[in-house]
Amino acid sequence: MIVAIDGPSGTGKSSTSKAVAAQLGLSYLDTGAQYRAITWWMLNNGVDVSDPAAIAAAAGKPSIVSGTDPRDPAISADGLDASGPIRTQEVTAAVSAVSAVPEVRARITELQRTIAAEAVGGIVVEGRDIGTTVLPHADLKVFLTASPEARAARRSGELKTADGKPVTDLAGTQQALIARDKADSSRKTSPLKKADDAVEVDTTELTLEQVIECVVTLVEKAAADKAAAGPMEKAAR
Ligand X SMILES: Nc1ncnc2c1ncn2[C@@H]1O[C@H](COP(=O)(O)OP(=O)(O)O)[C@@H](O)[C@H]1O
Ligand Y SMILES: Nc1ccn([C@@H]2O[C@H](COP(=O)(O)OP(=O)(O)O)[C@@H](O)[C@H]2O)c(=O)n1
- Contacting positions for ligand X (CB under 6 A): 7, 9-15, 154-155, 157-158, 203, 206-208, 211
Strand 2-6 relative to strand 140-145, pairing: parallel
* Integer Cα distance of 90 and 42 in angstroms: 12
* Integer Cα distance of 181 and 36 in angstroms: 15
143 touches ligand Y (CB under 6 A): no
Collapsing DSSP states into helix, strand and coil, what is residue 42? helix
Give 157 or 230: the residue with its C-beta nearer to ligand X. 157
Read off the amino acid at residue 130: I
Collapsing DSSP states into helix, strand and coil, what is residue 1? coil
CB of 152 to ligand X, least distance (A): 10
| The binder of ligand Y chosen from 31, 66, 68, 156 (CB under 6 A) | 31
* Structure-derived torsion over alpha carbons of residues 62, 189, 70, 208, reported in degrees to the nearest 10: 140
Restricted to residues 1-30, the positions that interact with ligand Y (CB under 6 A) are 9, 14
Restricted to residues 183-222, the positions that interact with ligand Y (CB under 6 A) are 184
132 touches ligand Y (CB under 6 A): no
Please give the residue whose beta carbon sits closest to ligand Y in the complex.
Answer: 32
128 touches ligand Y (CB under 6 A): yes
The site partner of 206 among ligand Y, ligand X, none (C-beta below 5 to 8 Å per kind) is ligand X
The site partner of 133 among ligand Y, ligand X, none (C-beta below 5 to 8 Å per kind) is none
For 203, residues 6+ apart whose C-beta sits below 8 A from its C-beta are 11, 12, 144, 145, 146, 150, 211
58: left (phi over 0), alpha (psi -120 to 50) or beta: alpha
CB of 182 to ligand Y, least distance (A): 10
CB under 6 A: which stretch of 33-41, 45-53, 76-84, 161-169 binds ligand Y? 33-41
What are the CA-CA distances from residue 52 to residues 94, 98, 208 (Å)? 12, 8, 37
99 touches ligand Y (CB under 6 A): yes
CB of 18 to ligand X, least distance (A): 8
- The answer to whether 142 touches 3, Cβ cutoff 8 Å, is yes
The site partner of 35 among ligand Y, ligand X, none (C-beta below 5 to 8 Å per kind) is ligand Y
φ and ψ at 124, to 5 degrees?
A: -105, 120
Provide the binding-site residues for ligand Y, judged by CB under 6 A: 9, 14, 31-33, 35-36, 95-96, 99, 127-130, 180, 184
